[in-house]
Structure 1
């Protein structure tokens, strides 16, 4: 079982690892769903987490809002990805869509190419894809070397339990070609229930381990 802690900067990294976080998704600005952290933050988190043998997935996202990125934003993402890779990140977290809410295949192919050698997570932009096409999206992402998809399995704000049926369908379709990583609405209080109900080995959240401030 891996509890992936969604971290905003370095602030709670030490405590989260001490409390059982087995992987870190490293972001800045969680108020808008997470953006790329600074080079200094990435460096310090990698140094500390590396000593504890905890892998770090670095968010590559230039801003909040939608997941439709223009050429300049994609150039920024490309540069940030290369820098995170140079610093030694274990993986990156990406997601690009077209105005029709499909995968931005051209943008993703570029980012995936330059992320070679890293773990790749496709983030919750996945939940913006119409449900009927999510299975097709799994096929494309699996074929292009993406390792996992972070998804709530339904509309933002819904209890995770309401989305179990769809999550099970996604997991079955993925068929171990990539990992479906449930997130949003999962905390240390219900993580075991989610793991058991879905038969998964990984869960994700900002409260996935019990911190003092929780």
Structure 2
């Protein structure tokens, strides 16, 4: 099982690595759902020798970005590439909450050869569009989707049935897609979620007990 911890500081990263976490998602402002961290932080965390996924998100709120914000995301991706970061996570939607395929394609191409993960912007996509969006993402070199299965205000116990449906849909895609459940995964419920969903990767800020 791969446990990915969401965190925002080097000191917490050190503790997580010591506790045996398998992967880090680095952010700042987790209270806003995670924003792009400082370059100095990801450079420092790289030295811990644990896989790191860096959040590329210029602000909190919705995922429909203006040109200045998109240029900021592009500049961040160039920095991450220059620093040889292996994985990044981002998501861009249209005003109607559908996947902004043209902008996503541009960012994915700019990010290459870094591994791209779609973050929880996916949950904001209308549910009847999610399987088609997943298929598009799988065909456009997105390796993994972080999702809650519904609004973050809903507990995972209420969204697990939709997560199950998306896990099943992901298995039927031509290109492999990893579903990464998050938003409420803890040391207390991870085993139950594993049994319910049959996935082997999970994400959360309380996914491992820190010393």
Q: TM-score, normalised by structure 1?
A: 0.94
By how many angstroms is 1:20 displaced?
A: 2.1
Q: Any idea what SS the aligned residue of 2:160 has?
A: helix
Aligned pairs (5 A) from 1:54-65? 54-65=50-61
Distance 1:61 1:5 in 2: 17
By how many angstroms is 1:129 displaced?
A: 0.5
Correspondence for 1:17: 17
Are 1:110 and 2:109 matched, yes or no? no
* Alpha-carbon RMSD: 1.0
Distance 1:129 1:204 in 2: 20
Structure 2: which 5+ runs fail to align? none
- Count of residue pairs brought into register by the alignment: 208
Correspondence for 2:92: 96
> Which consecutive aligned stretches of 4+ in structure 1 deviate over 3 angstroms post-superposition?
none
Structure 1: which 5+ runs fail to align? none
Q: Is contact 1:188-1:209 (8 Å) kept?
A: yes
Q: Is contact 1:96-1:107 (8 Å) kept?
A: yes
Correspondence for 1:81: 77
Aligned pairs (5 A) from 1:136-175? 136-175=132-171
Q: In the TM superposition, what whole-angstrom CA distance separates every residue of 1:143-190 from its partner, at most 9, and x where no partner exists?
A: 101001000001212111221111111011111621110000111111
By how many angstroms is 1:9 displaced?
A: 2.5
Q: Is contact 1:3-1:20 (8 Å) kept?
A: no
Correspondence for 1:43: 43
Correspondence for 1:184: 183
Are 1:125 and 2:134 matched, yes or no? no
Q: Any idea what SS the aligned residue of 1:147 has?
A: strand
Which one is further off, 143-152 or 85-94?
85-94
By how many angstroms is 1:47 displaced?
A: 1.2
Are 1:208 and 2:207 matched, yes or no? yes
Correspondence for 2:63: 67
Q: Is contact 1:46-1:88 (8 Å) kept?
A: no
Q: TM-score, normalised by structure 2?
A: 0.96
Distance 1:43 1:79 in 2: 16
